[in-house]
Amino acid sequence: MEIGSNSDLILENSITGNLEWTIPNFIDNSNKGFLTFPTKFDMVDPILNLKHNGRIIVRMSINPDYIIRRVEFGTSMLADRVKAINKLKEAGYTVGILIAPIILVDNWKELYENLFIFLSENLSAEAKKDVFFEFILMTYSYIHKAINHDAFPNAIELFDKDKMKARGYGKYAYKDSIRKEAEDFFFSNMKKFFPNNVIKYMV
């Protein structure tokens, strides 16, 4: 069951303590199923000692530091997110790595290859053994443009008319040929750096 669709629960937990109630209560009152949620934050210490029985799946969303600094304002840095992954694995959680949103800036291949290198060098042996991966290429809408330009005037421009195509009213996605190039790149790097890890999906 996905429980993190509307907010980042690790960030929210630092204020409300909701996960510290939700996780053990789910385990105590349900005999089957899993809870899963994504996060861009590293404040996982409050949940490390909770009873979870391996049925809580935390998916850490990551990006190159350049993307984090220029797009994901106010979120944890890459190195801190990877440290959190290692902590979660040591505590027995099932952990996924969600590379999202994948943003194809001009030097995207260099950025994302360096990301794979960083992961291979900094994930613990236990994490590298069975962490799974998910990949989500960025989609864009003019609603995002209106919000982001007002709230974050120093953010990089996400819309690229040369790389993107319309996908419904006011929505854009990467062109098929560019998307195929990106998919080939990520599958190739997975074979190189994480050949034994599962890719759940790429969308």
- CATH code (residue 134): 3.80.30.30
Q: Is the pLDDT of residue 147 over 70?
A: no
Radius of gyration for the chain, computed over Cα atoms and rounded to the nearest angstrom: 18
The range of the structural domain enclosing residue 121 comes to 9-139
36: in domain: yes
Predicted local confidence at residue 129, as pLDDT: 95
- Residue 57 falls within a domain, yes or no? yes
**pLDDT at residue 151 is higher than 60:** no
Residue-wise pLDDT for 165-194, tens only, equals: 888 777 889 899 999 999 999 999 999 999
Prediction pTM value:
0.91
Q: Evaluate whether residue 131 is within a structural domain.
A: yes
Cα separations in angstroms, 26 against 57, 62, 150 = 13, 27, 40
188 within domain boundaries = no
What gap in Å lies between CA 11 and CA 17, rounded to an integer? 10
pLDDT confidence tier of residue 140, bands split at 50, 70 and 90: confident
Q: Is the pLDDT of residue 134 over 90?
A: yes
Predicted confidence (pLDDT) at residue 136 exceeds the cutoff of 80: yes
Measuring CA to CA, how many Å separate 136 from each of 11, 15, 20, 101, 139?
A: 21, 28, 29, 6, 9
Does residue 25 lie within any of the structural domains? yes
Q: Per the structure, how many domains does the chain have?
A: 1
Is residue 182 in some structural domain? no
Position 98, amino acid:
L
The answer to whether position 185 is within a domain reads: no
pLDDT of 18 over the 80 cut: yes
Please state the rounded mean pLDDT for residues 45-71: 96
d(CA 41, CA 63): 12
Structure tokens at 165: 């195509």
Average pLDDT over every residue of 146-150:
56
Evaluate whether residue 156 is within a structural domain.
Answer: no
